């Protein structure tokens, strides 16, 4: 049994990426999954002056420790205006300043969703390219397009059969990667 840390890179209380994340982690079997609410932590805007004058924020140090304790991560990234959100980018900036390879030897299931037809694909692609620089192995990814049409919030499920089959494959492959 592997330890998995899961979180959405959104600071919205009603984040659709958090809804997708919770749905997906509910499908992961035979592993210990801890879902983290990043809004419970304080992450000041990164800046070299802040770093030099005050050091690393305590909550960034806590997050880094939580990441270090697990074997894998499930991360849902949101998108603002066609790019990664400043909120999650800020968190990765802080973490990488503390230790460039803060995701060393971590397997990652990366996902995204949006109300639009692209499913936050730009942000997903950005992090698929960036997270390996920090040591991550992005073993699977999934994008859910048109969240409001393809996800039933009341019944907490994906309604499009083809997308559901795709997600099932992604979760199965991710779990298989954790066995290796």
Dump pLDDT digits (tens) for 65-120: 999 999 999 999 999 999 999 999 999 999 999 999 999 999 999 999 999 999 99
Any idea what the Cα angle at residue 17 is, between residues 12 and 23, rounded to 5°? 125
pLDDT digits (tens, 9 = 90+) for 107-158: 999 999 999 999 999 999 999 999 999 999 999 999 999 999 999 999 999 9
Residues 22, 156: Cα–Cα separation, whole Å: 9
35, HSE (Cβ side, Cα atoms, 13 Å): 14
In this predicted structure, the answer to whether residue 180 has a pLDDT above a threshold of 90 is: no
Domain containing 145 equals 3-179
CATH no. for residue 99? 3.40.50.360
How far apart are the C-alpha atoms of 19 and 27, rounded to whole Å? 13
Assign 48 a pLDDT band (cuts: 50, 70, 90): very high
Q: How many domains would you assign to the chain?
A: 1
- Which tokens hold the place of 12? 């919205």
Q: Which of 66, 77, 110, 59 is nearest to 10 (CA)?
A: 77
Asked if 48 and 56 count as a contact pair (C-beta separation under 8 A), the reply is: no
Residue 18 · residue 8 · CB < 8 Å: yes
Continuous H helices in 99-146: 121-130
Half-sphere exposure of residue 138, counting CA atoms within 13 Å on the CB side?
Answer: 17
């Amino acid at each position: 049994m592997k330890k998995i840390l899961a979180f959405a890179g959104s600071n919205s209380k009603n984040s659709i990426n958090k809804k997708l994340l919770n749905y997906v982690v509910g499908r992961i079997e035979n592993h210990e999954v801890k879902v983290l609410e990043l809004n419970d932590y304080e992450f000041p805007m990164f800046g070299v002056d802040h770093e030099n004058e005050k050091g690393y924020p305590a909550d960034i140090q806590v997050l880094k420790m939580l990441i270090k304790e697990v074997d894998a991560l499930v991360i849902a990234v949101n998108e603002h205006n066609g790019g990664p959100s400043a909120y999650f980018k800020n968190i990765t900036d802080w973490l990488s300043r503390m230790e460039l390879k803060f995701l060393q030897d971590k397997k990652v299931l990366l996902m995204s969703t949006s109300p639009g037809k692209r499913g936050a694909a730009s942000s997903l692609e950005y992090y698929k390219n960036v997270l390996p620089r920090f040591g991550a192995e992005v073993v699977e990814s999934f994008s859910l397009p048109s969240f409001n049409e393809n996800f039933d919030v009341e019944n907490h499920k994906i309604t499009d059969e083809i997308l559901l089959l795709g997600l099932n494959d992604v979760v199965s492959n991710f779990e298989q990667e954790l066995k290796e």
